Structure 1
Amino acid sequence: HLPPPVRPPRSRSNVEKFIGENLIATIGIAILVIGVAIGAKYAIDHDLISPLTRIVLGYAAGLALFGFAVRLKVKYPNFSAVLLSGAMAILYFITFAAYSFYDLIPQTLTFGLMAFFTVFTALAALNYNKQVIVLIGLVGAYGVPFLLSDGSGNYAFLFTYMAIVNAGILVIAFRKNWKVAFYSAFGLTWLIFLSWFNLEYEAARHFTLAMTFAAVFFIEFYLTFLGYKLLQKEQFNFGDIASLLLNSFVFYGMGYAILSGQKQGEELLGLFTLANAVVHFIVSAVIYRGKLADRNLFYLVSGLVLVFLTLTFPVQLDGNWVTLIWAAEAALLFWIGRSRKVPVYEKMSYPLMFLAFFSLVQDWMTFYPQYQYQPDIEVAAKAITPFWNVQFLTGLLVAGAFFFIRWQDSPSSFSLQRAGKIGRIEESDRIQSDSSVPQFLDSSKPDWLRSIMQIAIPTMLLLTLYFTGQVEVTAWFDRLYWGSAVMSPPDAYDYSYPIYNNDFLQYKIVWMLNYTMGFLAILSFVNLGWIRSRILAAANLVVNLLTILSFLVGGLYALSLLRESYLTPSQSEYFSAGSWNLYIRYASLAFLAGLLFATWRYIRDRELIGVQLRIPFELLLHLAVLWVASSEWIHWMDIADPGQSYKLGLSILWGVYALLLIVLGIWRRKGYLRISAIALFGVTLLKLFLYDIAHLSTIGKTIIFVSLGVLLLVISFLYNKYKNTIFDEA
């Protein structure tokens, strides 16, 4: 029997050291300051001491605390640093009180004292080598202009002061590698600037001021960031990525907003975007030629160059830059994550992909409806040019970003040699583990998030490609419809209203279906010969089936309405219908044939689809052929105007097709075709007795009964003649 292992006692020295030396002292100094404030308030409320005495006692308390801090610095540096921080906080507050509450000292002297306290606090932080002290000075420094503001609105002085303070704080943060100070200065600066822009900015007065200091702050933080990476040779981390991207895009967003507020500035948006690209290009060139830093920094800065170059042209045309930024940034981060095997970059790109996609959807929902349902004839006449507008270009660029991401995610998906790779990820495509990355970001382990994204990325790519064209088709016919308006003659009440050519509504339905069938056929052939994805094949087949049925039900009906408009125009006094109303059906039938052929190619490829679907497809094919043939019969009978005789011909057509199915079923030994033929004959007979017989003349009834009777006899004869072949089928 072995004794249980003795566990070593858990080490508590570090926690206890932190609590005893730092936390308790910090809490104590905070409570002390609160106690002094309460006592001072009591004395003030009861007029126990004069205002001058209050200020003198406040300075005395601060200096006394400072003296204790200096005295204890050698033996107790941590405790001394806390005391010094409290002393500087008291001196800041007392100086502000003397100026603001009691008017005991002028503004100039107050500013000088606070500036001195800020410089002294920074020097003390360097001497103590304690970041907490410089943070006290940072808060005090940024508080000075607001505490001493007289409402004069001298924002140039404010931003100059902030730039100088930033320079000092950033130099200290760089020398001591105090990242918290850097992030604090970064956050406070942009927060103050953005607040001023939202609350006080006036384009006529502040345009130059805003652009100048936005650039100054951007350059300050950019140079500091580069200093950390180039001079101190730091490795990348999440905070570095976030700060660089945030600094770049906050500056770009501010500059865009400032320029957009000026009529002349709107014309410079493209140039401003290009200037951003040039700045990042210069930085990337310096890094590359000098081999100065981690290659990841070069990739990230180079990616920013590509982002802003991509944005330059569409930004100059329109304001879809938000969607493009997200798409470009997602592609950039995904590329860096995969090419440099840094999983955190890839994970950061995932939410940006969804943001880009849904931002594009929002653009579609706001851009196109303004040209739909537009009763204003003048507005309709000025509608967009389909396939030649900034929204279409935006859709193509976003689709390009998703295509690039998909290519990076699975390069083998775009190889013609994909046998054996369907539905799985090659080990060579996996990102290697990085021990410095948290487990949930390590993509070398099984990852449900990556599995989801491997479906989500191609889905967003295909939806973007499809709807980028589909909304343009819709916009084209909406433009034609609303642009066709003519005013009706005044009625009895002298009221006139616009009348529109309703044929364009049917054309829109037909061409949306044509576009969809063409898109799906091309997608099918691409997957069959190039991508070889089982998931895509399954989804493609389902959508193909739904689209074919939609055309047979809705598309053929819309085509029949176009025919009726040509033969019996209800708007002839306003519009004329051309022969294209009759012949457009053959363009649609060509698209249908292409989609049926693509679906047939899928059915033949058992390796790709994995199941036997020949029988369902053959039944679908015969249904489509019979449906189209019936539509063609009605189409030409309607043109020939034979009265009700088309019903006679339709029943005979169905009977002949049923006979054809019987012949094929016997010849090919396909029992399902023969059963389908019998079912079709049953439907034909029901139609004959329940519908046709009530509308046909005696001659018509004679013809149809004789014809169907003959067909039935022929079918029976075939069954008898080939009964051995039929009933001996396995």
Structure 2
Amino acid sequence: MAENHEKLDALLKKLEALMEKQEAFSKEVKALQNEIHHLKGSNPIPAENQRTTPTPSAQSPKTPLRPFRQAKKATADMDWDLPPKPKKSKTDFEKFIGENLANKIGIIIVVIGVAIGAKYTIDNQLIGPLTRIIMGYVVGIGLLGVAIKLKEKYENFSAVLLSGAMAILYFITFAAFSFYGLIGLSLTFALMVIFTAFTVLAALHYNKQVIAHIGLVGAYAVPFLLSDGSGNVKILFAYMAIINLGILSIAIKKYWKALYYSAFGLTWLIYLVWFLIDYAQAEHFGLALTFPSLFFVIFYLAFLAYKFLQREQFSSSDIIMLLSNAFIYYGLGYAILSNHTETAHFLGLFTLANAVIHFIVSVPIYRRKQADRNLFFLAIGLVITFITLAFPVQWDGNWVTLLWTSEAALLFWIGRTKRVAFYEKLSYPLMVIAFFSLIHDWSIVYGAYFLEEEANHFSPLLNIHFLSSMLFLVGFGWIYQVQANTSSSPAWKPSYGTAKLLAFGIPAVLLFTTYYAFLAEINAYWQQLYVISEVEMKSAMDTIEMFRNEDLIKFKIIWGINYTLFFLTGLAFLNGKKYRNRSLAWTNLTLIGLALLMFLSGGLYALSELRVSYLAPPHPEYIEYGVRNILVRYFSFIFVALALGAAFAYQKMPFMKKSFDMAFDFGLHLTLIWTLSSELIHWMDMAGWSRQYKLGLSIFWGVYALVLIGIGIWKNKKYLRISAIVLFGLTLLKLFFYDIIHLDTIAKTIVFVSLGILLLIISFLYNKFKHLIADETNH
């Protein structure tokens, strides 16, 4: 207890010291308030109105909370009589319109008025060309003088006047050269350069974007205001290039986005309109390719200048502008070159040249470590994009797919191993492009319409198409290996859904490509045999008819199914031994089920058609029908057995966790009864008893139902016994509604007696083993 009292005394002393400091601060605040009121001319706050913080008296140890209550009350009672915050004044729209907006609208109207007046004098021949030009220069220079005179006192107004003066000087010079020929080309360009340099210096000196807007961007309208339809487009584009050089000069010091956007939009819009309406290939080819290249370089440099020199981070709008500039130029260049017969084969080189330009830009950005890292990645992204585009532009088919695959693999490897998220993200769309390119190649190469031409046939597995598929697999296999080895330290962390998609997508592409690459070769092999089996035959009417060996299409179907079953069996073995992936296992089991269903429906039908061709050859004089029509049946059964074995093996693997005994048994017995029924029909047909297959099937189904019940009792599986009862019920329905109509008396007798005996045996089994069934039910 003594220790607690000592601690309490110490805490109270600290609290008393803090309260004294608080009171001193309160007095200091009041003193400052009085001084503020005095300076404002107000009366000081009366002493009696000044609240001070009471000094705490010595407290008894029994009341330790009183100082805290006093402190709280003193803080609440303090009079923070500070001067009120000034209210935000509302925008004075009158002042904005009168001082800011009116002068800009006014100077624009003046420029338009001068242009309209000049055009009127031109159209009506009121004054001579020389007089018109001199008067224009007088107006421009006079307006410039007024602007300079007013700069000291009215800077904003002066800036607007100066910009208008420069616009007038621009279009007067343009008119003097383009319309009247009063001055030569050298002098025209010299004056344009002088005007542009002066406008740039004035914009920087005033630090006013309006000068650049009206003086430079406004100058774009001049040729159209004064145009007489002569179509001197070379001068127009040269004029625009000079203006854009002025904007580039400003961009070195200022990054006025509105100015850049305006010049960018107007330049490309004017060019595109001309290209779509007036471009003539024979006359304008060189001009059409030169000026967009110049515009592209100017805008590219204008974009990079300020970002690079000032180390400013770039925004989404900057990305849009840079990409727009790159792809507008590329699109125009592609259109110009592709329409010219002599340059169409240089399209790939032109695309690669675009990649080189962006790579040259990326080098100084990379070396300047202080520059925005994303700017470097953007430039490299454009390099990769144009390299990617160069493949399909210059080459066709398999080479494009392989180059895209290699590029995707390289980018993914750099992104993962060097932990550069940008490269990894860029590799994913390239993987998608490469995969769909491969599918496109397959559709062309392995399409039946392509294989119809005998000249297009190729050796199975020993052809460039299969080789390209294997090289694609090598690329994606490497990607998968890198992904597996670096899964714990990715360059970026995608969302859960994206991560699952990426983890599933690459193995899925690998498996699908591996499967289809061999399947396509199998199909192509049989399709080619079918095409070359075509022979001529004389009909009964002495006309020549063409026919082919249709059995080859049946072989194509059967071996496609056999390969599918084999592939899925191999996948199950590999997963069980190495990966032990539960998701892959369930997918594999689903695919095995679908493949077995495909065999039971389509495969067994194709096998039966081959048997019919063997027993009754349709064209034995032209085509040889051998024993392979029969043997292929048992090869197929081997693959079916392997697939069922793979499913059974999954059933015993501990990583599966969830049992699927019922589904497996259902699939197994459905496959067995369907296949054995087909085999029964097959041998009855081979023996010449094809008309008795109805009798045989009914008895066989009854026997199989009996076997199922026996297995169900032995294994304590109720669902097997119920399935057997259903099967026997279907057999009885077949007997009464189908067999009884088509069978003769002896056959009916055999069926009825056989099925009756089977029913009695089933009943006996239920009675003999009812204690086992009852125990199973109770359990």
Residues 506 and 120 of structure 1: CA distance in aligned 2, closer, same or farther (over 3 Å): farther
Q: Distance in 2 between matches of 1:384 and 1:72?
A: 85
Residues 118 and 590 of structure 1: CA distance in aligned 2, closer, same or farther (over 3 Å): farther
Residues 18 and 259 of structure 1: CA distance in aligned 2, closer, same or farther (over 3 Å): same
Retained in 1: the 8 A contact 2:530–2:553? no
Matched, 1:89 2:167: yes
Q: Distance in 2 between matches of 1:97 and 1:119?
A: 20
The secondary structure found in structure 2 opposite 1:644 is helix
The code of the aligned residue for 1:653 comes to: F
1:560 aligns to what? 608
Matched, 1:26 2:100: no
> Where in structure 2 are there 5+ consecutive unaligned residues?
1-75, 78-83
Query: How does 1:318-717 map onto structure 2 within 5 Å?
Result: 318=396, 356=433, 363=440, 367=444, 372-373=448-449, 379=453, 381-382=455-456, 393=468, 451=497, 455=501, 458=504, 462=508, 466=512, 469=516, 472=520, 476=524, 480=528, 483-484=531-532, 486=534, 488=536, 498-510=546-558, 513=561, 530=579, 532=581, 545-572=593-620, 575-586=623-634, 588-589=636-637, 592-593=640-641, 596=644, 613-696=660-743, 700-701=747-748, 703-717=750-764
The code of the aligned residue for 1:728 comes to: D
Residues 267 and 132 of structure 1: CA distance in aligned 2, closer, same or farther (over 3 Å): same
Query: 1:666 offset after TM fit, Å?
Result: 0.8
Residues 294 and 54 of structure 1: CA distance in aligned 2, closer, same or farther (over 3 Å): closer
The secondary structure found in structure 2 opposite 1:691 is helix
Query: 1:680 offset after TM fit, Å?
Result: 1.1
Deviations 1:462-492 (A, max 9, x none): 4796489379469726952783374645779
Query: 1:562 offset after TM fit, Å?
Result: 3.6
Deviations 1:53-83 (A, max 9, x none): 7766655554444344323333443433333
Residues 43 and 207 of structure 1: CA distance in aligned 2, closer, same or farther (over 3 Å): closer
Asked which structure has the greater RCO (Cα within 8 Å, sep 6+), the reply is 1
Q: Distance in 1 between matches of 2:258 and 2:307?
A: 16
Retained in 2: the 8 A contact 1:299–1:336? no
Identity of aligned residues (%): 52
Matched, 1:232 2:328: no
Residues 306 and 393 of structure 1: CA distance in aligned 2, closer, same or farther (over 3 Å): farther
Q: Distance in 2 between matches of 1:578 and 1:290?
A: 76
Q: Distance in 1 between matches of 2:377 and 2:415?
A: 10
Retained in 1: the 8 A contact 2:527–2:556? no
Query: 1:125 offset after TM fit, Å?
Result: 2.5
The secondary structure found in structure 2 opposite 1:177 is coil
Residues 189 and 550 of structure 1: CA distance in aligned 2, closer, same or farther (over 3 Å): farther
1:128 aligns to what? 206
Retained in 1: the 8 A contact 2:412–2:424? yes
Query: 1:696 offset after TM fit, Å?
Result: 4.5
Query: How does 1:37-48 map onto structure 2 within 5 Å?
Result: none
1:725 aligns to what? 772
Query: 1:693 offset after TM fit, Å?
Result: 4.5
The secondary structure found in structure 2 opposite 1:630 is helix
Query: 1:658 offset after TM fit, Å?
Result: 1.6
Residues 494 and 57 of structure 1: CA distance in aligned 2, closer, same or farther (over 3 Å): farther
- Stretch moving more, 627-636 or 89-98: 89-98
The code of the aligned residue for 1:133 comes to: I
Residues 489 and 561 of structure 1: CA distance in aligned 2, closer, same or farther (over 3 Å): closer
Q: Distance in 2 between matches of 1:196 and 1:386?
A: 54
The code of the aligned residue for 1:74 comes to: E
Query: 1:359 offset after TM fit, Å?
Result: 6.9
Retained in 2: the 8 A contact 1:337–1:346? yes
1:419 aligns to what? none
The code of the aligned residue for 1:679 comes to: V
Q: Distance in 2 between matches of 1:678 and 1:647?
A: 20
Q: Distance in 2 between matches of 1:601 and 1:673?
A: 20
The secondary structure found in structure 2 opposite 1:660 is helix
Query: 1:624 offset after TM fit, Å?
Result: 1.9
Deviations 1:416-458 (A, max 9, x none): xxxxxxxxxx9x97968xxxxxxxxxx8xxx8xx747855995
Match of 1:177 among 237, 255, 263: 255
Residues 597 and 92 of structure 1: CA distance in aligned 2, closer, same or farther (over 3 Å): farther
RMSD of Structure 2 on Structure 1 (CA) = 5.8
User: What is the TM-score when the length of structure 2 is the normalising length?
Assistant: 0.67
Q: Distance in 2 between matches of 1:14 and 1:605?
A: 81
Q: Distance in 1 between matches of 2:765 and 2:228?
A: 106
The code of the aligned residue for 1:552 comes to: L
The code of the aligned residue for 1:675 comes to: I
Query: 1:674 offset after TM fit, Å?
Result: 0.5
User: What is the TM-score when the length of structure 1 is the normalising length?
Assistant: 0.70
Q: Distance in 2 between matches of 1:518 and 1:17?
A: 85
Retained in 2: the 8 A contact 1:373–1:482? no
Residues 451 and 106 of structure 1: CA distance in aligned 2, closer, same or farther (over 3 Å): same
Residues 645 and 653 of structure 1: CA distance in aligned 2, closer, same or farther (over 3 Å): same
Q: Distance in 1 between matches of 2:307 and 2:598?
A: 59
Deviations 1:356-382 (A, max 9, x none): 49975994798469x54579x6x4633
Retained in 1: the 8 A contact 2:565–2:639? yes
Retained in 2: the 8 A contact 1:186–1:221? yes
Q: Distance in 2 between matches of 1:104 and 1:635?
A: 99
- Stretch moving more, 336-345 or 185-194: 336-345
Query: 1:29 offset after TM fit, Å?
Result: 3.7
Residues 664 and 580 of structure 1: CA distance in aligned 2, closer, same or farther (over 3 Å): same
Residues 171 and 58 of structure 1: CA distance in aligned 2, closer, same or farther (over 3 Å): closer
Deviations 1:245-285 (A, max 9, x none): 55666666666666666788677666666666666666666
Retained in 1: the 8 A contact 2:196–2:246? no
Q: Distance in 2 between matches of 1:19 and 1:517?
A: 81
Deviations 1:671-718 (A, max 9, x none): 000110111122223323433454445554455444434433332332
Residues 309 and 579 of structure 1: CA distance in aligned 2, closer, same or farther (over 3 Å): farther
Q: Distance in 1 between matches of 2:550 and 2:289?
A: 52
Deviations 1:293-313 (A, max 9, x none): 444445455555666666766
